[in-house]
């Protein structure tokens, strides 16, 4: 993978044959064959590259990691944003968008380690919402009224409605042959 940098590119398991000569006090000798196994490190495989959205879980997979001469006992993850994790298949949530380098270090039963890395591209998930068309309110001023000069008249717009919301204010415009008046009222 082009996005990966490997620390160990080749894992070798060697069997070496030693011939040891042992001399006894009586002058008699004996040859002993001794097999020595050189233990190789594990091979980390971080998987990826990965991608996902900020604020959402991104799942990682280190199950491609191997150990030819034993077992992997620890999977340590560095998610590149200051956070870490453990396990074969962890998940992580990034709070910011960007490209992060993800590192996996595996440790085998002999205490040997290997690491591998890849990238994760974190973008923002855009959610589309249907267009909302604001419907006009319907004004209901009540019935026509007549009054003598000095007589009290009450006006109410209480029966006015807004089909897709609620009303927050009323404005009354009184135009007469002798002038006009503008009065407002509001809620809250």
Where are the extended beta strands (E) located within the chain? 14-23, 29-38, 50-53, 57-59, 72-78, 84-86, 91-93, 98-108, 113-123, 169-176, 179-186
Asked if the peptide bond before residue 49 counts as cis, ω within 30 degrees of 0, the response is: yes
Higher confidence at residue 40 or residue 182? 40
Higher confidence at residue 103 or residue 174? 103
- Domains, the chain: 41-123 (2.60.40.10)
Least confident of 19-33, 101-115, 137-151: 19-33
**Which pTM value belongs to this model?**
0.53
- pLDDT for 20 beyond 60: no
Higher confidence at residue 179 or residue 57? 57
pLDDT tens for residues 125-146? 876 667 778 888 898 888 887 8
pLDDT at 172: 76
Residue 157 CA to residue 146 CA, distance in Å, equals 17
* Sole residue written with tokens 């927050």: 168
Q: How confident is the model at residue 55 (pLDDT cuts 50, 70, 90)?
A: very high
Q: Tokens for 139, please give them.
A: 């004004």
């Amino acid at each position: 993978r082009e996005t990966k940098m490997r620390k160990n590119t080749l894992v070798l398991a060697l069997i070496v044959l030693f011939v040891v000569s042992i001399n006894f006090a009586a002058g008699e000798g004996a040859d002993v064959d001794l097999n020595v196994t050189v233990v190789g490190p594990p091979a980390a495989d971080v998987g990826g590259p990965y991608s996902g959205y900020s604020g959402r879980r991104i799942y990682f997979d280190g199950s491609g990691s191997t150990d030819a001469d034993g077992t992997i006992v620890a999977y340590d993850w560095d998610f590149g944003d200051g956070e870490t994790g453990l396990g074969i298949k962890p998940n992580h949530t990034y709070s910011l968008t960007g490209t992060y380098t993800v590192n996996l270090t595996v440790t085998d039963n002999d205490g040997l380690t290997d690491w591998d890395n890849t990238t994760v591209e974190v973008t923002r998930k855009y959610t589309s919402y249907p267009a909302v068309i604001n419907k006009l309110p319907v004004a209901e001023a009540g019935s026509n009224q007549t009054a003598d000069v000095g007589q009290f008249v009450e006006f109410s717009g209480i029966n006015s409605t807004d089909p897709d919301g609620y009303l927050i204010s009323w404005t009354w415009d009184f135009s007469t042959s002798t002038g006009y008046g503008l009065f407002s009222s509001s809620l809250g």
